[in-house]
Amino acid sequence: MNREWMRARLESFKALCEAYDLQERQSNYASTDTQQELTDQMASQLPTVRQILSRLDPALVKEVGMPSSVDGAYRPLLAVQQGLGILRDRDEWAANLAPDAPSLIADQFHPQVWAAASPLWDTGPPR
């Protein structure tokens, strides 16, 4: 995955959400041409944002949509912020949440052990 590209796309959408909400507050919740322009830009970026979030956490996709009259761009903004957090911390999860188990170099086992284990190793974990 190209994480920098993903991050840039999510940051761009995040900025649009923030600008939309700011414009909405400044216009006293009346529709403006600026809001329409922001909505148009969000609509064009939405499919890509959904694809990115589906790869990071599929549960976030349902939260990402166009601004609503009830909560503006709050829900999509929150989902994108969570996606950015996942991108930021994903490598740390692997390093810091891995079990405290020894790592083994399997092909350096005793030849008799490796001969018995190698067919199982190649098939992967049980399902």
pLDDT in tens, 26-61: 888 777 888 889 999 999 999 999 999 999 999 999
Residues 6+ apart with CB under 8 A from 50: 61, 64
Complete DSSP assignment for 66-109: S-BTTTBTHHHHHHHHHHHHHHHHHHHHHHHSS-S-----GGGS
Determine how many CB atoms are found less than 10 A away from the CB of residue 4.
Answer: 9
Element of type H or E holding 119: helix 111-123
For residue 43, the Cα-to-chain-centroid distance in whole angstroms is 18
Give the model's pLDDT for residue 69: 79
Would you say residue 99 has pLDDT above 80? no
**pLDDT tens sequence across 2-25:** 999 999 999 999 999 999 999 888
42 inside domain:
yes
103 inside domain:
no
Please, what is the average pLDDT of the chain? 87
How many structural domains does the chain have? 1
Contact criterion met (CB below 8 Å) for 82 and 60: yes
Q: Containing domain of residue 64, as a range? A: 3-96
pTM beyond 0.85:
no
